[in-house]
């Protein structure tokens, strides 16, 4: 018989007032209200984030950043950066050295990527892991690639991500996962929090917990709930599900979503529970306020609840994989009823009664690919948003004031997640993100103008803009009188960096890779640089795999973009707020 676990529970108020536990921790709350967003985008986003983290470390600004909010490929990078305990001795080994453009040579791109570096996993093919993980007959080919694991089809993607990206850094173990998944480590915030969990739950005394590396920003990994999975297979086009998604978060202290929502007589969100108890049964009683152990802090919670233990505990692999599971859908032709991550979930509906059900989850990028709105919910005053997109910004894209005019379709001209934040949305568009407006529509043109002005000066597209916060009832965001700053960092070419490259060969290859009206097979090794395809950059068979040269060049590019920005927009904005 499974024993109950005692977990803190955080209950949101009906006026969109949220209780976030990290805001009761001095180490977090004493930092300036600044957050960094790493967008989704597979191994392109993972690689770009490595270079961007490298630059932020070089500038010495990480101690001033309170939050990292990430999605999909950005989560692959951020989870490793936050928790790694093997594979690299220090951050310098993990992120690699700063390499100015003039030192980027043919030899450098061939030999620059080391196995210790965070994005090295992008050189591996998921195709050798995923097919042999399905609930299909295991032939000799699969047996030679990987050992059998004891888990369901809903775990296929998550464990493939664990083996491919997390395992080299001590965050996953394939041998344990194959038949003893309950021995995978839990994850939490720090040693003090783990001591409190074990004091309240003596049966966990011998269990291992991953904890955040000292000094790291507080991590938010973003996924979404698929509200209409039973209809999803009838409509394989991605746009058919975008109206029926809601956000879901994983942090070192919590799992859940702050805003309570009702859909088809079911509740979602309303607060959080602790990760070690997630997936367990429904509490039978309201939270108790007295601490379950003398040393335990409430951390803004409503108290503790007794939760029947989950059949298998939740690990960092599940959070990182779920945040990126759009790739599972693409690979599996949207058969979400069998292959998307699936958990038992119950909403934090005040003091109860609570009701739970099996729930399907998906990639956070299907809903909001930048991770910005969770920072707005937390009241940040500056968000540094790295839009590591596959779409270059078309200088001719000039939308009119009608947010829903079909002529304003950003697909193919601008990363569609950006205009959606200003209310530009139309269900006729392939990607349209209908519920994400948090800024007035008239401010979008200001952002586009500022980005294009940087392009005209041959500089990286990094600009800081002031924005008003609009009410958003879908996300539970209240309008704010005080504006916030957003430093928009759009992934795109800038000629100043290319002109300084230490290799004329690479310079020519970049130009060849961005030529229009020629077949992809003739574009060379840097197709669409720096905006590599999310899937199939080097052929569909390789899924999200990149070459060492592609990874080295992209990470150097995103690092140098921050350091070469003459306006030093990121550093200036941080100094203004911090």
245-250 and 342-346 as β-strands: parallel, antiparallel, unpaired?
Answer: unpaired
**pLDDT averaged over every residue in the chain:** 90
Which residue did the predictor score with more confidence, 237 or 413?
A: 413
Mean pLDDT of 368-376: 97
Mean pLDDT of 239-255: 87
- CA dist 139 → 24, 135, 539, 541, 551 (Å): 53, 12, 26, 20, 34
Residue 37 has a pLDDT of: 98
Question: Is pLDDT above 50 for 349?
Answer: yes
- Measured distance CA(73)–CA(533) in Å, rounded: 13
- Measured distance CA(202)–CA(355) in Å, rounded: 27
Residue 145 has a pLDDT of: 41
Residue 337 has a pLDDT of: 60
Structure tokens at 198: 């074990």
pLDDT, tens only, 76-108: 999 999 999 999 999 999 999 999 999 999 999
Neighbouring C-beta atoms of residue 499, cutoff 10 Å: 10
Mean pLDDT of 171-178: 90
Residue 134 has a pLDDT of: 44
Which residue did the predictor score with more confidence, 337 or 205?
A: 205
Mean pLDDT of 234-256: 79
Q: Which of 60-69, 177-186, 302-311 has the highest mean pLDDT?
A: 60-69
Least trusted range by pLDDT, from 65-79, 95-109, 540-554: 540-554
* Helices 42-59 and 73-83: angle between axes, nearest 10 degrees: 40
pLDDT, tens only, 285-342: 888 888 888 889 999 999 999 999 988 889 999 999 999 987 545 544 445 566 788 8
Question: Is pLDDT above 60 for 148?
Answer: no
Question: Is pLDDT above 80 for 50?
Answer: yes
Of the candidates 325, 306, 309, the residue with the CA atom closest to the CA atom of residue 182: 309
- Measured distance CA(340)–CA(322) in Å, rounded: 8
Per-residue pLDDT band for 151 (boundaries 50, 70, 90) equals low
CA torsion through residues 156, 158, 164, 167, sign: negative
Residue with tokens 């078309």: 394
Neighbouring C-beta atoms of residue 353, cutoff 10 Å: 11
**Residue 383's beta-bridge partner residues?**
35, 486
Residue with tokens 């290319």: 498
CA torsion, points 364, 367, 371, 376, in degrees to nearest 10? -140
Residue 129 has a pLDDT of: 65
Residue 67 has a pLDDT of: 98
Residue 137 has a pLDDT of: 40
Neighbouring C-beta atoms of residue 418, cutoff 10 Å: 26
Question: Is pLDDT above 60 for 66?
Answer: yes
Residues contacting residue 533 through CB under 8 Å, at least 6 positions apart: 44, 390, 527
Number of residues in the chain: 578
pLDDT, tens only, 9-27: 999 987 788 989 999 999 9
Region of residue 96 (phi > 0: left; psi between -120 and 50: alpha; otherwise: beta): left
pLDDT, tens only, 400-421: 999 999 999 999 999 999 999 9
What distance lies between CA 106 and its chain's CA centroid? 32
Residue 350 has a pLDDT of: 82
């Amino acid at each position: 018989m499974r024993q109950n676990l005692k977990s803190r529970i955080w209950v949101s108020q009906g006026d969109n007032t949220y209780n976030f536990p990290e805001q009761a921790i001095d180490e977090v709350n004493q930092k300036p209200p600044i957050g960094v967003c790493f967008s989704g985008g597979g191994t392109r986003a993972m690689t770009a984030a490595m270079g961007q983290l490298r630059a932020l470390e070089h500038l010495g600004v990480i101690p001033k950043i309170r939050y990292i909010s990430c999605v999909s490929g950005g989560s692959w990078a951020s989870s490793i950066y936050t928790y790694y305990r093997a594979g690299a001795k220090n951050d310098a080994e993990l992120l690699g050295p700063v390499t100015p453009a003039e030192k980027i040579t043919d030899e450098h791109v061939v030999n620059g990527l080391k196995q210790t570096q965070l994005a090295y996993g992008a050189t591996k093919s998921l195709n050798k892991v995923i097919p042999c993980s399905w609930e299909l007959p295991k032939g000799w080919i699969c047996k030679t690639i990987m050992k059998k694991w004891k888990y369901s089809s809903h775990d296929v993607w998550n464990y493939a991500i664990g083996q491919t990206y997390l395992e080299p850094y001590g965050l996953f173990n394939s041998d344990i996962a194959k038949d003893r998944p309950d021995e995978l480590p839990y994850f939490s915030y720090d040693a003090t929090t783990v001591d409190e969990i074990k004091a309240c739950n003596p049966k966990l005394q011998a269990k291992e917990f991953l904890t955040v590396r000292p000094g790291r920003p507080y991590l938010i990994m973003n996924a979404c709930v698929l509200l209409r999975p039973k209809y999803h297979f009838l409509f394989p086009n991605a746009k058919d599900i975008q109206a029926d998604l809601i956000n879901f978060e994983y942090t070192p202290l919590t799992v859940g979503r702050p805003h309570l929502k009702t859909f088809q007589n079911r509740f979602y969100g309303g607060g959080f529970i602790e990760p070690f108890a997630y997936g367990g049964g429904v509490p039978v009683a309201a939270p108790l306020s007295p601490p379950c152990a003398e040393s335990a802090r409430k951390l803004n919670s409503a108290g503790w609840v007794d939760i029947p233990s989950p059949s298998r505990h939740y690990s960092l692999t599940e959070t990182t994989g779920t945040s990126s599971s759009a790739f599972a859908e693409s690979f599996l032709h949207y058969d979400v009823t069998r292959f998307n991550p699936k958990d038992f979930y119950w909403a934090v509906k005040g003091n109860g009664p609570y009701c739970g059900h099996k729930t399907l989850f998906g990639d956070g990028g299907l809903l909001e690919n930048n991770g910005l709105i969770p920072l707005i919910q937390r009241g940040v005053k500056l968000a540094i948003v790295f839009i590591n997109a596959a779409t270059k910004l078309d200088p001719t894209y000039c939308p009119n004031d009608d947010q829903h005019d079909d002529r304003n379709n950003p697909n193919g001209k601008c990363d569609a997640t950006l205009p959606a934040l200003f209310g530009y949305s139309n269900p006729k568009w392939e990607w349209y993100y209908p519920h994400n407006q948090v800024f007035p529509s008239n401010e979008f043109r200001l952002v586009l103008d500022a980005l294009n002005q940087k392009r005209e000066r041959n500089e990286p597209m990094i600009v800081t803009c002031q924005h008003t916060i609009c009410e958003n009832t879908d996300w539970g965001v209240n309008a704010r009188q005080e504006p916030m700053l957003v430093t928009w960092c759009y992934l795109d070419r800038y000629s100043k960096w290319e002109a300084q490259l230490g290799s004329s060969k690479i310079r020519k290859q970049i130009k060849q890779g961005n030529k229009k009206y020629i077949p992809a097979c003739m574009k060379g090794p840097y197709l669409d640089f720096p905006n590599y395809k999310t899937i199939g950059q080097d052929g569909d068979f390789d899924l999200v795999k990149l070459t060492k040269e592609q990874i080295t060049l992209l990470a150097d590019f995103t690092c140098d973009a921050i350091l070469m920005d003459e306006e030093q927009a990121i550093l200036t904005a941080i100094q203004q707020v911090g």
